[in-house]
Amino acid sequence: MLKRTRLQWMYEVPKCVAQEALRDLTRASIRYRSGLSGRPVMKTKKRSSRAFRITNDRITVQNERVRLSKIGFVKLKEKNYLPSRGVRIFGATISERAGRWFISLQVSTEINVQINTGPVVGVDLGIRRLATLSDGTTVSNPRPFARFEQKLRRLDRALARKKRGSKNYADCRQRMSTIYLRITNIRKDTVHKATSRLARTKSVIGVEDLPVRNMQKNRALAKHIHDAAFGEFVRQLHYKTVWYGSALVRISRVFPSTKMCSRCGRVKRSMGLQERSYECGSCGLMIDRDLNAAINIKNVAAGSTDTENARLTGEVHAIVQVPWSDAGTERQAVTSADGEQMYLRVNRGGNEGGE
Ligand SMILES: [Zn+2]
């Protein structure tokens, strides 16, 4: 009733848009009640991310355009990108950032995963460097926010002088949001490249389960941690290791990776944040602080049987449902907010002739 009288506009959009929005609300309250996230807040036209989801709807993908019900054909800026055949499309998310519109599709596709035979590696995630690997290689932190901070501050001051609602005001806002979009893209690109390389070339990847939420309470560190996107790094490793047949080992945060000597195993009582190198009083080892931690993490990962997906042996037939995106910087980029959209069916024996 309410729908028919007061909410006429609801008939103008596909009905699944509203259903999906309600589903989001349900998910948000479940997450809130289980302590995973804060209290759900009301969406507003100004503040909220501008996005909607379409499911169960006929979505047609062609090389240069997509057809969405009630909207019609929409031309794609990046062509031949979205999968148009060989996959089942579940739904689409349409979003807007800095005046640009993005579409990401949720598709189901079958992949054959070969068990990865690469070396074992330990990864220490950091602020100074995004990642330090136990083999001595590093991934530097692009810190895009720091790079654009001054420019943003200048624009912010300029904005304050402009009249609200004026064209100048809108232009200024637009310039700022374009910079924020660039920051996001640089960050995304670095993390995607690093996690892909790891998942492709290593058999077992050890990472520390970082208490990101606790660390973010420390305001001085918070900005940099946000920049470094630790949580995102681990989340991507989680699904990419499934794709490339490698295993992810998350090591408990109580493990003294930083305080322990990676050669003799002695554990120091304390290790200040400023100490950049680990010097062992017992065996005399002198090593970069983060490299020492990475080696310790590797040693645990190598000996661990508690890997999240190391159970996979032999050839694995997996069905992975992933959103494809034309907004990402990498073709396999996944931008869903949680791992929920991914599932894996392991098929042992049967036609493949396993055990
Ligand atoms: Zn030692």
User: What is the DSSP track for 82-140?
Assistant: S--SSSEEEEEEEEEETTEEEEEEEEEEEEEEPPP---EEEEEE-SSEEEEETTS-EEE
CB 307, CB 249: distance < 8 Å = yes
Residue 220: CB atoms within 10 Å: 6
Q: Which of 124, 275, 288, 338 is catalytic?
A: 124
DSSP code for 43: -
Cα–Cα distance for residue pair 95/337, rounded to 1 Å: 13
Specify which of 9-13, 160-164, 327-331 reaches the highest per-range mean pLDDT: 160-164
Q: Is the pLDDT of residue 279 over 90?
A: yes
| Cα–Cα–Cα angle for 339, 318, 324, rounded to 5 degrees | 50
pLDDT digits (tens, 9 = 90+) for 243-263: 888 888 888 777 889 999 999
Beta-carbon contacts of 264 under 8 Å, excluding residues fewer than 6 positions away, are 280, 282, 283, 285
More confident residue, 133 or 270: 133
Specify which of 60-74, 217-231, 285-299 reaches the highest per-range mean pLDDT: 285-299
CA of 77 to the centre of ligand 1 (A): 56
Q: Which of 96, 208, 288, 308 is catalytic?
A: 208
Confidence category of residue 323, pLDDT binned at 50, 70, 90: very low
Cα–Cα distance for residue pair 197/34, rounded to 1 Å: 34
Q: Would you state the pLDDT for residue 344? A: 31
Tokens of 140: 């530097």
DSSP H helices, the chain, are 2-5, 15-33, 144-161, 167-201, 212-215, 219-228, 230-243, 289-303
Q: How far is CA 194 from the centre of its chain?
A: 12
- Closest-CA residue to 298 (of 204, 234, 209): 204
CA of 278 to the centre of ligand 1 (A): 9
Q: How far is CA 15 from the centre of its chain?
A: 29
Cα–Cα distance for residue pair 329/331, rounded to 1 Å: 7
| Cα–Cα–Cα angle for 254, 259, 264, rounded to 5 degrees | 115
Q: Which of 12, 96, 189, 290 is catalytic?
A: 290
Active site residue 290: yes
Confidence category of residue 4, pLDDT binned at 50, 70, 90: very low
Cα–Cα distance for residue pair 188/227, rounded to 1 Å: 10
Q: Would you state the pLDDT for residue 306? A: 45
Active site residue 124: yes
CA of 266 to the centre of ligand 1 (A): 6
Confidence category of residue 158, pLDDT binned at 50, 70, 90: very high
More confident residue, 227 or 154: 154
Q: Would you state the pLDDT for residue 331? A: 27
CB 159, CB 172: distance < 8 Å = yes
